[in-house]
A = this chain, B = another copy of it.
Amino acid sequence: MRLFSLRAASTLCRQSAQHTFQFTRQFSCTALRTAGQTKQVVLTSEMYPDIHRDSRLGNVTSADVDHFKSILQPGSVLTDDTEDLSGFNVDSMRKYRGQARVVLKPRTTDEVAQIMKHCHERRLAVVPQGGNTGLVGGSVPVFDEIVISLGLMNKIRSFDNVSGILVADAGCILEATDNFLAERGYIFPLDLGAKGSCHIGGNVATNAGGLRLLRYGSLHGSVLGLEAVMANGTVVNGLGKLRKDNTGYDVKQMFIGSEGTLGVITAVSILCPRRSKVVNVAFLGLESYEQVQSAFVKAKADLSEILSAFEFMDRESINEVAKYSELRRPLDEQHNFYVLVETSGSNPEHDEEKLNKYLEDLMESDIIEDGVLANDETQLKNLWTWRETIPESLGKAGGVYKYDVSIPLPELYTLVEDTRTHLAKAGISIGTEDSVVVDVVGYGHLGDGNLHLNVAVKNYDKHIEHLLEPWVYEWIEKRHGSISAEHGLGFAKKNYIQYSKDPSMISVMKNLKTVFDPNGIMNPYKYI
């Protein structure tokens, strides 16, 4: 439905919306494959020769492997003598490659505890690994760390249909868990692009943000309890199923976002909200970033309790998706900015009325230039596709310098503009045939103050990298922003934490690490 044609209309009714979308073909996400995916990934140790293996850490021997075989079930100890371990050594971005020679696949918390006890005594370094979908190289080894894959710990332990409290193994896949909840009228309070592969334990370990944070808040609020195995093999049983529990320090909070550096999360207890009966999505075209902000303020006021997502994309982001997609653009004209607004509520008529009123007001006050409203589930998913496939589309060019940052809203988009200017001043053109830089785009979770600044390149280029870093981090530091809003630190950003945290805070963090992992065997070379 074109809002333009309805300026004079009093309501944006469902009937008139039926002829809006004529998507010619289903968008194929899997067809988007980055160019680099066919090449062998360079070893991290070769790419970063300044990083050396910690000599205090032990070397895995055949006796260690035999010990692991004695405590785990048959087929749970993989070694590079007989198996191809590249799937565990290479990250999802294909930027990092480790040299693990042993992968362990425990099935119970007790098995994890026995593994850790042995590794602690022998000072063997480990990398806990979930779905291996992280974006900062945190889930793969750097050298020969042992990979502990949680993939076989994937059972739902309990679900309470009254309270909505779910207890599940860390290795449960996010999408499967959400489907389990959907059948019971509930929803997992987190959603993200990698849901088909990522594990809920990994989500908690990285404190994933994603698409539902605006509505359901951060995992620090919704995770009620964790079971984790500490570096020395001690099982910390904090798997409470209580919404409120003020008995001592909330230790589980340290594990949320610790990226495998404190222990191995083996199970999660989480509060799941009721699944909304009605979901609506509108896709809007706007002229300026100021108008994007106005639309957001108005959404908070008018859509209030039913607002569930407010995502924004710039013109360039959508153009990049359009390059590779055969999907028809949601809006005929091009706009400088686009916004995807989602509502989730319990009453179809009420939600429709609120959303229509909101959209009409936006039109009448000239905050938006154009817009469409999804009319069915397929249209809704297609609109989301324009937002969700931006990262993959950008990757098709060759490589992407990704900056996942938090900045106070008024200045959020300025970073994208300043980056373009900064490159231009250095004589780098964007999108021309002879330039390595294909595009500079900005998009993200506006409702959370979270921008994804992406610089798409034909190939990774040290000159471009040095132009961008630490320039981007310094820019963010000046605005008291975060250099990693939701992706974490991992290997990629270990050396940049000081741009977002002051020395006293970093010092406290290092002391905390020592409490949990005195021998430094948990996911070394990363984080802090």
Contacts and interface: CB of A to CB of B under 8 A. Distances in A.
Interface of A: 160, 162-164, 185, 206-207, 209, 213, 217-218, 220-222, 230, 234-238, 240-251, 253-254, 256-258, 262, 274, 276-277, 293, 296-297, 300-306, 344-347, 350, 353-354, 406, 408-410, 445, 448-450, 480-489, 493, 497, 500-502, 504-509, 511-513, 515-516, 527-528
Contact of A501 (B164, B248, B484): B248
Contacts of A302: 346
Contact of A221 (B206, B221, B248, B480): B221
Given A236-B508, A304-B346, A449-B242, A250 B249 contact: no
Given A244-B406, A346-B354, A480-B240, A163 B251 contact: no
A244 B162 contact: no
Contacts of A448: 243-244
Given A162-B293, A248-B497, A248-B527, 16 more contacts: A162-B409, A207-B246, A217-B221, A220-B253, A221-B222, A243-B449, A244-B406, A244-B445, A244-B450, A247-B489, A249-B528, A251-B505, A254-B254, A276-B304, A301-B346, A511-B515
A245 B527 CA distance: 14
Nearest to A303: B346
A504 B220 contact: no
Contact of A243 (B262, B296, B406, B528): B406
Given A238-B505, A257-B250, A245 B305 contact: no
A163 B449 contact: yes
Q: Indicate the member of A353, A485, A527 with the most B CB atoms within 10 Å.
A: A485
B247 A484 contact: yes
A481 to B, nearest CB: 7
A509 B297 CA distance: 42
Given A221-B221, A246-B487, A305 B293 contact: no
B480 A249 contact: no
A250 B254 contact: yes
Given A245-B484, A347-B350, A497-B247, A236 B512 contact: no
30 contacts: A160-B409, A162-B297, A163-B409, A207-B246, A209-B246, A213-B244, A217-B222, A220-B250, A220-B253, A240-B480, A241-B480, A244-B485, A245-B482, A245-B484, A245-B485, A247-B484, A248-B506, A249-B257, A249-B258, A253-B253, A253-B254, A303-B346, A304-B346, A305-B305, A305-B344, A305-B345, A305-B346, A350-B354, A508-B515, A512-B515
Contacts of A162: 293, 296-297, 409-410
Contacts of A504: 230, 234-237
Contacts of A222: 217, 221
Contacts of A482: 240, 242, 244-247
Nearest to A214: B243
A116 to B, nearest CB: 13
Contacts of A512: 249, 251, 512, 515
A247 to B, nearest CB: 4
